[in-house]
């Protein structure tokens, strides 16, 4: 009988002990495999996020804060120069205007309330203030919320269902317009459409022109759903703001190039613009996933070592129990390699069976364990954060710079809390699944455990001297 076959059979000489060893090994290996799967899933999520998020730079006129502050509009010509910077893939531009009922037939769907009365009447759009139209009768003052019009050359980014579909605002009816369009068309928020009884094909007036509604969007925000999205060229023409831009987002081909491009943008625009990047925000948001990756790595290593020690101690006990058998085999002429092969085969049997059990359990538990790790780490971070340039990230609205910046930019550009809240939620949506790489990892783990577990057994078998064993018997 070969040493291999004899080793496999010996693995089941003591069934209770064998089952115990296999179950314990299986559970430890299951933990190792689930950690390997978790690490792979989290690493993939980090790479995906870094490839598509955090690679933008927000640009706005220096001192401009939504419809407050001051500053001078940037120009389309300057944005074209930014587009020529190496590693820049696109520049999303936008121009915002706020129109009162004297400039448009639209009426806001938002009730001013006490806050509207408090902050209203600060001017009629432009850079002067909150905008709006107020009137007083005796001691009573009324205020009408102005309607935000945003011209953009990147409608597909703002509206899901558009050409690029990069935003969180969903186009629920109709269609959007081409980035280079100069037609008198608009996509309006659902609340604004409802308040003004608009539907796809309806028209309204703005700046004295007749505008056709070609689509309706749902942003999930009361403020954002009260806005109007139009072609950039159209707004520039109708608002007598030829070539003007109030915010832009520079898209970089890789997050690794953001810092370099940010410096080049600042050098190009100088003191006329506030320039900030999303890189640090994204890195901060990815910190919990990096923690999960670190935890899973250390747990994986610890599990492999633990499994190896369990097998090592088990085999050490088995070798000591069979010293007489080893002495007899050597006394009748069995070479060391044959005896060693028998115990290595037994160790491999435990490892293979434990690995099969561990692989099954590990795959089943990998997704719950991964979700638990991710949730526990992401919940420990703050859900609110400051925007670029120190500005508070505000709720709702389209993201700044060419995505249709329905919310006033915070700091050096527009970042919506809603957008990053959705981004933060996507970080917890990590799907752990076994792949061929997982099977390869499981195979390597099994080999490492078998090697660790067999080391002491081999050393003890080699040191057994037949004469000493038989004499002690």
Q: What is the pLDDT at residue 454?
A: 72
Average pLDDT estimate for 184-195 = 94
Question: What residues are paired with 416 via a beta bridge?
Answer: 394
Tens of pLDDT along 49-88?
776 667 888 898 988 766 566 678 999 999 999 999 999 9
Question: Token pair of 234, please?
Answer: 């159209």
pLDDT band at 391 (very low <50, low <70, confident <90, very high): very low
In angstroms, the CA 133 to CA 142 distance is: 8
**How much is the mean pLDDT over the chain?**
76
Q: Give yes or no for a contact between 94 and 152, defined as CB atoms under 8 angstroms apart.
A: yes
Better pLDDT: 6 or 94? 94
pLDDT for the residue numbered 206: 96
Q: State pLDDT tens for residues 164-173.
A: 344 556 888 9
Cα dist. 236→20, 46, 89, 232 in Å? 77, 39, 24, 6
Radius of gyration of the chain (CA): 34
- pLDDT digits 0-9 by tens, 392-411: 333 333 444 444 433 333 33
For 196-204, what is the mean pLDDT?
95
Q: Where are the chain's structural domains?
A: 3-51+285-472, 92-250
Going by pLDDT thresholds of 50, 70 and 90, the confidence category of residue 232 is very high
Return the residue matching tokens 């989290």: 42
> Quick one: pLDDT at residue 69?
61
- Most confident range, picked from 124-138, 176-190, 282-296, 316-330: 176-190
Tell me: the pLDDT tens digits for 366-375? Answer: 888 877 777 7
Going by C-alpha positions, the residue among 338, 334, 461, 322 that lies closest to residue 3 is 338
Percent of the chain with pLDDT over 70: 72
Q: How confident is the model at residue 428 (pLDDT cuts 50, 70, 90)?
A: low
């Amino acid at each position: 009988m070969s040493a291999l076959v004899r080793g496999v059979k010996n693995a089941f000489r003591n069934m209770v002990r064998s089952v115990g060893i296999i179950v314990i090994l299986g559970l430890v290996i299951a933990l190792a495999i689930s950690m390997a799967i978790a690490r792979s899933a989290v690493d993939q999520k980090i790479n995906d996020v870094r490839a598509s998020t955090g690679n933008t730079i927000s640009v706005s006129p220096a001192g401009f804060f939504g419809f407050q502050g001051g500053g001078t509009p940037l120009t389309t010509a300057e944005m074209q120069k930014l587009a020529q910077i190496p590693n820049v893939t696109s520049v999303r531009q936008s121009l915002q205007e706020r129109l009162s009922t004297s400039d448009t037939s639209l009426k806001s769907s938002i009730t001013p309330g006490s806050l509207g009365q408090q902050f209203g009447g600060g001017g009629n759009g432009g850079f002067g203030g909150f905008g709006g139209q107020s009137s007083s009768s005796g001691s009573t003052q009324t205020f009408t919320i102005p309607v935000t019009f945003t011209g953009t050359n990147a409608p597909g980014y703002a509206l899901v269902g558009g050409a690029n579909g990069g935003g969180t605002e969903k186009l629920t009816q109709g269609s959007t317009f081409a980035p280079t369009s100069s037609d008198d068309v608009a996509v309006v928020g659902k609340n604004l459409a409802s308040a003004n009884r608009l539907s796809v094909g309806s028209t309204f007036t703005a700046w004295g022109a007749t505008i056709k509604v070609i689509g309706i969007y749902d942003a999930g925000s009361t403020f954002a759903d009260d806005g109007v999205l139009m072609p950039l060229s159209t707004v520039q023409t109708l608002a007598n703001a030829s070539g003007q831009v109030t915010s832009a987002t520079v898209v970089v081909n890789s997050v690794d190039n953001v810092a370099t491009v940010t410096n080049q943008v600042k050098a190009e625009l100088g003191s006329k613009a506030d320039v900030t990047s999303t890189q640090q925000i994204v890195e901060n948001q990815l910190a919990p996933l990096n923690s999960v990756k670190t935890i899973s790595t250390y747990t994986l290593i610890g599990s492999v070592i633990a499994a190896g020690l369990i097998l090592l101690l088990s085999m050490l006990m088995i070798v000591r129990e069979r010293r007489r058998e080893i002495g007899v085999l050597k006394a009748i002429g069995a070479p060391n390699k044959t005896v060693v092969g028998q115990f290595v085969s037994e160790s491999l049997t435990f490892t293979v069976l434990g690995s099969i059990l561990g692989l099954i359990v590990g795959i089943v538990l990998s997704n719950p364990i991964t979700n638990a790790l991710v949730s526990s780490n992401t919940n420990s971070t703050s859900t609110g954060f400051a925007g670029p340039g120190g500005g508070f990230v505000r709720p709702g609205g389209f993201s700044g710079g060419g995505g249709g910046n329905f919310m006033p930019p915070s700091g050096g550009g527009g970042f919506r809390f809603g957008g990053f809240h959705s981004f933060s939620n996507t970080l917890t949506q990590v799907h752990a699944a076994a792949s061929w790489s997982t099977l390869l990892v499981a195979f390597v783990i099994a080999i490492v455990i078998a090697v660790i577990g067999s080391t002491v057994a081999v050393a003890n078998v080699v040191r057994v001297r037949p004469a000493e064993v038989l004499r002690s018997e």
